[in-house]
Amino acid sequence: MLSAFANALRTPDLRKKILFTLAILAIFRLGSVTPTPNVNIVAVNQCRAQATSGDAAGLYQMIQLFSGGALLQLAIFALGIMPYITASIILQLLTVVIPRLEALKKEGASGTAKITQYTRYLTLVLAVLNSTAFVTLAINGQLFQGCSLDLVYDKGVFPILTMILTMTAGTGLIMWLGELITDRGVGNGMSVMIFTQIAAQFPASLWGIKESREGAAGWFVFSLVLVIGLAVMAGVIFMEQAQRRIPVQYAKRMVGRDADGHRGTILFTGATASLRGSANFAAFAGAKHALRALAQSMARELGPRGIHVAHVVIDGAIDTAFIRDNFPQRYALKDLDGVLNPDHIADQYWMLHRQPRDAWTHELDLRPWMEKF
């Protein structure tokens, strides 16, 4: 394990990603211990110490653990990534009941990007609501049970708005830091930050277990919990990395041609620009002309070997969410068969693949019946 970590540090690109991730996590932890403006940190520390040792100690310790200690300190990153997780869950549930979101999910990368954007907006809305609730509890003295100290210096409108906006901005910053880790660091940014929040409280929690019992009993329980935790981690890693080798027997392996000598099919998809150029489409037309030439060259080279190479020109709008949302007038022709049906396009591709080699089609132009030439 240590050798693998050392080898990772020797690789420049991987070392850069690891150091970048550690730097982002350091910023994240700094924001988790930096108090929000207008917070009386001395009073907060006294109330937190009293609450974590009182009757509701279990609840406050749990909040302390999963928030990384930031929430009960009223820190800049007090809300953590919980608003983002909640927004993600809400959007995932809504994709089942809202057709628009379901269509975006099926569009692939572009649809996922839009859903991610909606998740960010919803995260900020939830952050405003959560921060307002926590600041209100702090002002009214209800954040810590049994503590009557003033947790804020000024209860005016402007200082309270500043606290709410600071916590909301902190959530937005956390969301951005998580995406930076995902794009330029190691692992999924949000998952890494969740782990960091919990792991930051491990030492204090373990030591609290030892302090809960006096003498040798405290050390025994501390050691027992530590051993059980390490055993669980080892078991999880073992099961995650485990492999079961199952021999596979193949009844028959075919090499070469099928019954009619057909050895495969290569299909290229072109567009109207493959046949003629248009104004403001010079780059696109040049690329499509090159694709058509490539298909012709490959057909002449691979055809004698039994490989069918064909070039399909798609000349018309296809029935997709993009056409529906951006070209509604064009999409309105769908009921008149004026828009290409993806299933019908697939049927033509399958027909090309199943063609006998004595009547191969090299170029096929697919267009709705009302499309202009």
Same-domain check for residues 282 and 169: no
Amino acid identity at 127 = A
Structural domain total, the chain: 2
Residue at which a domain ends, from 147, 166, 200: 200
Same-domain check for residues 42 and 166: yes
186: left (phi over 0), alpha (psi -120 to 50) or beta: beta
Residue 151: both structure tokens together? 């947790």
Same-domain check for residues 35 and 148: yes
Per-residue pLDDT of the chain (373 residues; tens, 9 = 90+): 567 667 777 788 888 888 999 999 999 999 988 999 998 888 888 888 887 776 676 777 777 777 777 888 889 998 988 899 999 999 989 988 888 888 888 887 888 888 889 999 999 999 999 999 989 988 888 888 778 888 889 888 999 999 999 999 999 999 999 999 998 888 888 888 888 888 887 787 777 777 777 778 888 888 888 899 889 988 988 888 887 777 776 655 444 455 455 678 899 998 888 777 778 778 888 888 888 999 999 989 888 888 899 999 888 888 888 888 888 888 788 888 888 889 999 999 999 888 888 889 999 888 888 777 6
Same-domain check for residues 273 and 346: yes
pLDDT value at residue 96 = 85
Same-domain check for residues 10 and 117: yes
Same-domain check for residues 172 and 290: no
Inter-helix orientation angle 189-199/157-184, to 10°: 120
Residue pair 69/24 in contact (Cβ under 8 Å)? The answer is no
Same-domain check for residues 332 and 185: no
Same-domain check for residues 166 and 281: no
Q: Beta strands 363-366 and 264-271: pairing type? A: unpaired
Same-domain check for residues 175 and 290: no
- Report if residue 128 sits inside a domain: yes
Q: How far, rounded to the nearest angstrom, does the alpha carbon of residue 10 sit from its chain's CA centroid?
A: 29
What's the sign of the alpha-carbon dihedral 318, 319, 322, 326?
Answer: positive
CATH number at residue 159: 1.10.3370.10
- Report if residue 240 sits inside a domain: no
Residue at which a domain ends, from 149, 182, 200: 200
pLDDT value at residue 2 = 63
Same-domain check for residues 271 and 143: no
Same-domain check for residues 168 and 292: no
Same-domain check for residues 42 and 151: yes
pLDDT value at residue 326 = 83
- Report if residue 22 sits inside a domain: yes
- Report if residue 213 sits inside a domain: no
Q: 112 to each of 82, 95, 221, how far by Cα in Å?
A: 21, 11, 48
- Report if residue 216 sits inside a domain: no
Q: With CA atoms as reference, report the closest residue to 70 among 121, 99, 114, 36.
A: 36
pLDDT value at residue 255 = 47
Give every strand in the sheet of 264-271, ordered side by side: 264-271, 307-314, 363-366
- Report if residue 105 sits inside a domain: yes
Residue pair 36/75 in contact (Cβ under 8 Å)? The answer is yes
Q: What phi and psi values does residue 307 have, to the nearest 5 degrees?
A: -105, 120
- Report if residue 228 sits inside a domain: no
User: Which pTM does this prediction carry?
Assistant: 0.59
pLDDT value at residue 1 = 57
CATH number at residue 321: 3.40.50.720
Look up the domain containing 24 and give its range: 2-200
The number of CA neighbours under 13 Å toward the Cβ of 300 is: 5
Residue at which a domain ends, from 200, 234, 255: 200
- Report if residue 279 sits inside a domain: yes
